[in-house]
């Protein structure tokens, strides 16, 4: 199995959101959630927060304090603060604690906590990293990030490509993924990032949509055997005018459990489910598409270099 050599870092960040510039109260929801992650032994991931965008106030100049308890995280690896974010946001890591002070008006704050996971960490091991957030003089709120050690797998997209497409017309984007692991991959998901103006004429029941663009599709019950390739055709619509950065679509494949962990806290980012028939994957090899019989232990992608594909759309 081909694995990229990576350092084992888990960055834990915080996105602080508050509503209307008013002090938080016990009755008002803070709207901040930590995103869970699944990480393979010896590889990199990060835990950030998701929040209700309606609670963001860019003019909020108050400060918030964040305290992380790293005790459980230290059982799966070595914990340290990230040097480039050490000052002035966070102090030094002392006695299993990291204390940070940040301004609420910052929409995304990396508080500088890293976990160097052990290469011998057993898949299925779970570490819960609790955090306490307090905005100004408001009440303290408890959050937690669930970090699970996953079985390492490698999904490979079919590489960068270019397509010639007529402006304003519908076209089919080919998507494909190969299991480059020596184990079955138990369920997969694919996410889409597209230039503004590219839309989707068909809405599938196992896919999510935001502003008429497909954002993610879930194939949680599909297993991929080692060396097998699965593919599908995704209908898209070319915009009538080009965006400032051209017309592009990036697709990224992940094991189902890894995607689900992140998805739980950022559900709103992916939009609504479609109402049509499900999008189906077909096998391009002699091996048929097989169902998933067990979802444990969770699996994690080990190479972020080859699990995505960028397609550049060239207007003709």
* Selection from 189, 225, 223 nearest residue 207 by Cα: 189
4 in a structural domain: no
Number of domains in the chain: 2
Task: Indicate whether 162 and 106 sit together in one domain.
Answer: no
| Burial grade of 266 (CB within 10 A; 0-12, 13-18, 19 or more) | middle
Q: Which residues pair with 229 in a beta bridge?
A: 178
Task: Indicate whether 96 and 172 sit together in one domain.
Answer: no
Which residue, of 97, 118, 149, is where some domain finishes?
A: 149
1 in a structural domain: no
Task: Indicate whether 171 and 251 sit together in one domain.
Answer: yes
CA atoms within 13 A on the CB side of 102: 24
Task: Indicate whether 156 and 178 sit together in one domain.
Answer: yes
- Give the CATH number for residue 50: 2.60.40
Q: pLDDT tens, 3-55?
A: 333 333 333 333 333 333 333 333 345 667 778 889 999 987 676 666 666 66
Q: Which residues pair with 211 in a beta bridge?
A: none
Q: Which residues of the chain have pLDDT under 70?
A: 1-31, 45, 47-58, 82-88, 105-112, 159-160, 265-269
* Domain carrying residue 278: 152-315
CB count in 10 Å sphere of residue 107: 12
- The CA distance from 12 to 174, in Å, is 35
Q: What is the pTM of this model?
A: 0.80
- Give the CATH number for residue 293: 2.60.40.10
* Selection from 158, 152, 153, 154 nearest residue 284 by Cα: 158
Which residue, of 149, 170, 192, is where some domain finishes?
A: 149
Task: Indicate whether 263 and 297 sit together in one domain.
Answer: yes
Task: Indicate whether 102 and 190 sit together in one domain.
Answer: no
pLDDT value at residue 24: 35
pLDDT value at residue 82: 63
- The CA distance from 58 to 176, in Å, is 40
* DSSP-assigned letter for residue 303: -
Place of tokens 């969770």: 298
Which residue, of 149, 177, 196, is where some domain finishes?
A: 149
Task: Indicate whether 130 and 172 sit together in one domain.
Answer: no
């Amino acid at each position: 199995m081909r694995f990229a050599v990576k350092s084992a870092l888990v960055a834990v960040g915080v996105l602080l959101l508050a509503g209307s510039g008013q002090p938080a109260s016990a009755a008002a929801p803070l709207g901040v959630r930590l995103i869970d992650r699944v990480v393979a032994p010896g590889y990199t991931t990060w835990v950030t927060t998701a929040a209700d965008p309606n609670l963001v106030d860019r003019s909020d100049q108050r400060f918030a304090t964040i305290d992380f308890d790293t005790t459980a995280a230290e059982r799966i690896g070595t914990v340290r603060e990230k040097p480039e974010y050490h000052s002035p946001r966070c102090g030094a890591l002392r006695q299993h604690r990291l204390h940070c002070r940040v301004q609420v008006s910052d929409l995304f704050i990396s508080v500088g906590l890293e976990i160097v996971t052990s290469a011998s960490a057993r898949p299925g091991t779970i570490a819960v990293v609790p955090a306490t957030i307090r905005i100004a003089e408001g009440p303290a709120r408890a959050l937690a990030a669930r970090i699970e050690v996953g079985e390492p797998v490698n999904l490979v997209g079919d590489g960068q490509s270019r397509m010639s497409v007529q402006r304003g017309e519908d076209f089919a984007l080919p998507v494909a993924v190969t299991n480059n692991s020596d184990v079955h991959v138990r369920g997969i998901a694919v996410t889409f990032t597209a230039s503004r103006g590219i839309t989707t004429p068909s809405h599938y029941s196992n896919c999510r949509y935001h502003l008429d663009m497909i954002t993610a599709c879930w194939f949680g019950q599909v297993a991929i055997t080692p060396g097998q390739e699965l593919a599908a055709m995704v209908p898209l619509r070319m915009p009538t005018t080009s965006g400032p950065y051209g017309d592009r679509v990036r697709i990224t494949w992940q094991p189902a459990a890894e995607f689900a962990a992140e998805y739980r806290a950022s559900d709103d980012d992916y939009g609504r489910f479609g109402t049509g028939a499900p999008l189906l994957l077909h096998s391009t090899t002699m091996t048929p598409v097989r169902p998933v019989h067990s979802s444990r232990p969770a699996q994690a992608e080990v190479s972020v270099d080859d699990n995505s594909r960028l397609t550049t759309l060239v207007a003709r």
